[in-house]
Chain A
């Protein structure tokens, strides 16, 4: 096996380091996934299989909820499509950076493109300067998340059987805190605030839509609001809109 150059190794560790705060948020969330799975009627093998092969926290939780309600697997797969559709937008965002990588790198990084790794990696890719090894940065972030997510699932599977009432400890708040933390880089200008306000308000309005469709609708409305605010800002400044 070829040795890994020091610069690549450094990028890899930096990716892990910058993901660490989000790992802290993901730990309780992974544990509670393992904990709740049994009650929803999913076997231990099924729960671990999801963490190993699906690797998508929010979709895994939605699947548990639907299983508990007795939903059939094709319906759960369809809902997974809707819940994870936002990741198509993530890939589109990273497209300019990932398209020059070999196919196997693309497949590996796509498999691990969670919300957390996207939030960390997009900052790195978009930072000024040229660094040829940023894909190692993203790999470090995703492997850290992946190993942690699966270990926490196992801990949760065990804890769920040992500790009664762990499901009521409010461990799921950790994910909420982590996702709010991921918003910090965007708390900066009017277009971003407009995107957040519109997405948040729409998410409330669309909360009752079936199959979590509201998430998708609210995301698209938020993006549209950001674009509109950007255009208004540039006309208000008297500068011509960058759009032709």
Chain B
């Protein structure tokens, strides 16, 4: 029963966030300033997700070192993306770098 409430509440909350502005939209006109602000939503939100993910692998302690494969892998992924501008290459290449670095760390060379 707990699980039923949990899934139901999460589903309702998530759908309402994604939907609620749409029925209102005929009546509300977005101002010019707001429209320009919304252009920065994707880069800001994505970065706000990515940075803590890479720097706080355990969610608690910041690990800014080469011993953190998430950080090294994220750096490599960003470099590939910046140079190649190719989404698939970036994701696959980034994952390859991450697992390679993890293997290097596991061997105890660093």
**Contact present for B85 and A184 (CB under 8 Å):** yes
Q: How far is the CA of A183 from the CA of B99 in the complex (A)?
A: 21
Q: Is A166 an interface residue (CB 8 A)?
A: no
Interface pair A42/B3, CB less than 8 Å apart: yes
B residues 64-92 touching A (CB-CB < 8 Å): 69-70, 73-74, 77-78, 81-82, 85, 87-88, 90-92
The binding surface of chain B is classed by DSSP as helix
Supposing A204-B55, A222-B40 touch, asked if A110 and B94 sit within 8 A by C-beta, the answer is no
Residues in A neighbouring B85, C-beta threshold 8 A: 184
- A196 and B43 contact, CB distance less than 8 A: yes
Residues of A whose CB lies within 8 Å of any CB of B are 20-22, 24-25, 42-43, 45-46, 49-50, 53-56, 58-60, 63, 65, 67, 73-74, 76-77, 80-81, 84-93, 95-96, 98-99, 103, 106-107, 110-111, 113, 115, 118-119, 122, 170, 173-187, 191-192, 195-196, 198-200, 202-204, 207, 214-215, 218-227, 230, 242-244
Q: Are B48 and A122 in contact (CB under 8 A)?
A: no
Q: A67-B6, A199-B45, A243-B36 are in contact. List 4 more A-B contacts (CB 8 A).
A: A22-B91, A115-B45, A196-B44, A199-B43
CB distance from B50 to the nearest CB of A (A): 5
Size of interface on B: residues with Cβ below 8 Å to A:
68
Chain B residues with CB under 8 Å of A58's CB are 49
A-B residue pairs in contact (CB < 8 Å), sample of 6:
A56-B10, A173-B73, A180-B90, A196-B43, A198-B44, A200-B47
Asked whether A111 and B18 contact (CB < 8 A) given A119-B46, A222-B47, the answer is yes
CB A88 to nearest CB in B, in angstroms, measures 5
Given contacts A20-B88, A243-B32, contact A222 B43 (CB under 8 A): yes
A interface majority secondary structure: helix
How distant is the Cα of A85 from the Cα of B22 in the complex, in angstroms? Answer: 15
